[in-house]
Structure 1
C-alpha cells in the first residue's frame, strides 16, 4: 500500500491523533517495515527548531504511539556527511512526515537536492508520505508564499511547487491547507491566510488545467496511490475550487483519483459533494471568518479544534458550575483544562494559546478558592435547623404569652441576618442580603 496524506493543519494536535493512528496502521507492514521519519526542513530556519523537533517526537511517541526518527535537513548546503545521513534514513523509511513552517523556505532547501526523489521513493516502495500545513503547500504545481504575502506584505504571487501530487497521482493542482482559517476574526484569512480577494487574483494566473485543492484545518485527504482513491478524514471539508466556484466534500467521502482530477480540471462528474457559493468577505467579514467548528465524536461530546477552543469550553463549564455552587463541576472543568493543556503541549502551531490557557487555569483556581471562602452550600440549608429550633422556642413563648422571650428571639435572629415574618399560617423566615 502507498499513501499520500495531505493535512490542512493540526498535524501535531490531538484532533489528528485518530487519523495518524489509522494511517500508520495501514502502512505498518509497508516498505519493509522501515522506520517512521520526520523531516525538520519546514521550520529549520526558526530559532526554536530543536524544541519543535522534541515536541513533534513527543507527540508521535506519546499521543500516536509511534516513535519517530529525525532526518535532519535544515539547509540544503549542509555538510555532505549530514546530508547523506538524512537521505539514508529516508531511503529506509516506511513513513515520512513534514509539517509546519515556511513553504518557500522548504522549497529553497529541497529543490535541486535528492530530497524530492527520496520522498517519492518512500511511496514507490509502498510507504506513506504525510505532508501538513507548510509542507502540504509544496505538493502542487504552484505554492503559496504564505510568509512573504501575509507577514511581509509582498504582492500576491505563486512560487514554483514540487508537484509531488502530480508525479504521484497524475493530478495537476495547487494544494491550499488552512483552507477555512478564521484567525483573522473580522478580516478574511481563509485559503491559507490569502483571503478571497488575493485567491481570486492568483487563480487568474494559473494554467487552465490547474485547479485548487483546499484542505480545512484539522482535516486530511488520504490518497491511496494503489487503489487510486482519495478519502476525506478529520473535522472539516476538502474543497475543489476552480475560478471561484467550489465543491465541498465532508469527512467520510471517497472519490476516485479520476473523479478528483476531472473536478480540478473543471469537468463535470457525478461525484458526491455540493456546489457552494464562496462568501464575499468584504460584504460579510463575519461569515467569511466563521470557523468550521467542532464535530461530535462517538460519545456525542464536541471535540475542541484548538487549545483556545478547549480553554473557552472549560471556562464556560466552570462558570455554569460556579453559578450553581457545583464544586465537583468546577473541579472537573479545571482538570479538563489541565488535561487539554497537556494534550495540546506538543502542537507546533499554538502561538500564545498555551499562555492564555495557563492564565485561565490560574484564574479558575482563584475563583474556586473564593467559592471556598463563602461556602458552596446553600446558606439557608446550613442555618435552617438552628433557625427552626429558635422559631419553635419563640412559638411556645408566644403561646404562653411570654412576649418578652418571643421578641428577644425575633430580635436576635434579625440581628443575625434572619428576617422573621408572622403570617396567619405561622412564622416564615428568610436570609437577608449582604
Structure 2
C-alpha cells in the first residue's frame, strides 16, 4: 500500500498535470479503487458535467477508472478538486469525510490528491475565497481539516499562489492579494507558516519515505513573518527539512538548486490560446489566409486537448471557444476580400472545411454552423451532401 499526499495549486485535470497523476497512479495495486469526491462543487448546476469530464480525464489520460462517491471508505486513491473550500468543509465535517481524510494521512496509507479548493482545506485554517473575493466579506479564516498536522507541519496551504489574472489588481495568493493576506497572517496562531503552491504545480509528499518533491511549472513558497523561501519545481527535500523551514529554525539549509525536470512542463491553455491568436494576427497582417486558417485549426486542437479541464477561474475552455468564434468571423470577412482578388480560394476553403468537420465530430455544432455562416459571408456556400460537404462560390 503506497502512502502519498499530493497537493496541487491548480490545473488538476489539465494536460499540465498528467505526468504527476500518472506517477501517483503507478504506485497503486492492480484493481485499486479510485474515488472522486465531488463535494467542493456539489452545489453547482453543472456538477454532473464536471464529474464526467474529470472521470474521462483520469480514464483517458491517466489510465485510472474513477467512481464518484460521497465517501472514501475502502478507497486506495482519493481525489478532490475545484469549487468552494467552505462548502466542502461544512459537508465533510458533518459526514465524517474530514476525519477519514485525516485518518488516511495519520496511517500514511493510500494516495490522496487534493487540488485547488480541496487543497485549500488541508491546513489548520482555510481561506474562504468565495466569501472574500466574490462576495466581499471581511478577510478571515475558517478552520481547516489540518491534514498536515500529523506530519508535524503547523501550516495553512494556499493554492493559486502566483495567480495573475487580475491584471490591474493583485490576485496572487488565491485571489487575496498582499494587503489581505498580510492582514490575515497576523490572525494565525503563533508559529504558523503559509505554504503557497503556485498554479500548475504540485507538492508530492511520500508519507512513508518522508520525502518531498515540488514538481510542475511553478514553486512552493514557505512564508513566515518577515521571511520567505521559494522551492522551485524540481526541488527535492525531506519532510523534516520542510518542517524546519516552516518553523523558521535558524540555520536551516535551503535545498540545493534542483536539476531540470525530466520532461518540460506543458504549456497552459491560456498560453496556447495567446500563441494561436498571435499566429492568426501575424498571418492576417502578411496576409496569409491559409496560415490564418491553420491558426484557428491549432486553436481548435487545443480546445479538444483541454476539454476535460475543470478549472474555470481563468476563463478556460469556454473563453477559448469565444476567441475561436471571433477568429472564424474574421476569417469569413477576410475570405470575401480574398475572393475578389485571388483565384486561390481552394487553398483557404479546404482547411476551413477540415476545421468544420472536426467541430462537428466533437459535437460543437453551434460553432460549426457559425463557421459555415462566416464562409457564406465571405463568398463560399457550403452544402452537406451524402458524399460529404460540397462548396461553391456563393451567388
Question: 2:175 corresponds to which residue?
Answer: 193
For residues 239 and 108 of structure 2, the distance between their equivalents in structure 1, rounded to whole angstroms, comes to 20
1:66 pairs with 2:69: no
Question: 2:192 corresponds to which residue?
Answer: 210
SS at match of 1:37: strand
1:357 pairs with 2:313: no
1:341 pairs with 2:303: yes
Q: Which digits, 9 at most, give the CA deviation of each residue in 1:230-262, with x for residues without a partner?
A: 101111111000014211111110111111111
SS at match of 1:128: strand
**Runs (5+) with no aligned partner, structure 1:** 73-85, 275-294, 380-434
Question: 2:202 corresponds to which residue?
Answer: 220
Q: 1:297–1:303: 8 Å Cα contact kept in structure 2?
A: no
Residues 254-403 of structure 1 aligned to structure 2 (within 5 Å): 254-267=236-249, 268-272=251-255, 298=263, 303-306=266-269, 308-350=270-312, 352-375=315-338
For residues 262 and 297 of structure 2, the distance between their equivalents in structure 1, rounded to whole angstroms, comes to 20
**Runs (5+) with no aligned partner, structure 2:** 343-395
For residues 315 and 197 of structure 1, the distance between their equivalents in structure 2, rounded to whole angstroms, comes to 34
Match of 1:172 among 154, 165, 179: 154
For residues 204 and 266 of structure 2, the distance between their equivalents in structure 1, rounded to whole angstroms, comes to 21
For residues 2 and 297 of structure 1, the distance between their equivalents in structure 2, rounded to whole angstroms, comes to 23
1:113 pairs with 2:95: yes
Provide closer, same or farther for how the CA distance between residues 223 and 297 of structure 1 changes in structure 2, counting only shifts above 3 A.
Answer: closer
Tell me which moved more, 2-11 or 121-130: 121-130
Question: 1:132 corresponds to which residue?
Answer: 115
1:181 pairs with 2:163: yes
Q: 1:248–1:273: 8 Å Cα contact kept in structure 2?
A: no
Q: 1:208–1:265: 8 Å Cα contact kept in structure 2?
A: no
Question: For the aligned residues, what is the CA RMSD?
Answer: 2.8
Stretches of 4+ moved more than 6 A in 1?
Answer: none
For residues 359 and 155 of structure 1, the distance between their equivalents in structure 2, rounded to whole angstroms, comes to 34
Aligned residues: 338
For residues 158 and 287 of structure 2, the distance between their equivalents in structure 1, rounded to whole angstroms, comes to 47
For residues 32 and 40 of structure 2, the distance between their equivalents in structure 1, rounded to whole angstroms, comes to 23
Question: 1:385 corresponds to which residue?
Answer: none
Q: 2:11–2:199: 8 Å Cα contact kept in structure 1?
A: yes
For residues 265 and 272 of structure 1, the distance between their equivalents in structure 2, rounded to whole angstroms, comes to 15
Question: 1:233 corresponds to which residue?
Answer: 215
Bigger Rg, which one: 1
Question: 1:46 corresponds to which residue?
Answer: 44
Q: TM-score, normalised by structure 1?
A: 0.72
Once the two structures are TM-superposed, the CA of residue 369 in structure 1 deviates from its matched residue by 4.5
For residues 244 and 113 of structure 1, the distance between their equivalents in structure 2, rounded to whole angstroms, comes to 39
Q: 2:214–2:231: 8 Å Cα contact kept in structure 1?
A: yes
Question: 2:32 corresponds to which residue?
Answer: 34
Q: Which digits, 9 at most, give the CA deviation of each residue in 1:325-376, with x for residues without a partner?
A: 4455334322221111112222222254433322322333344455555559
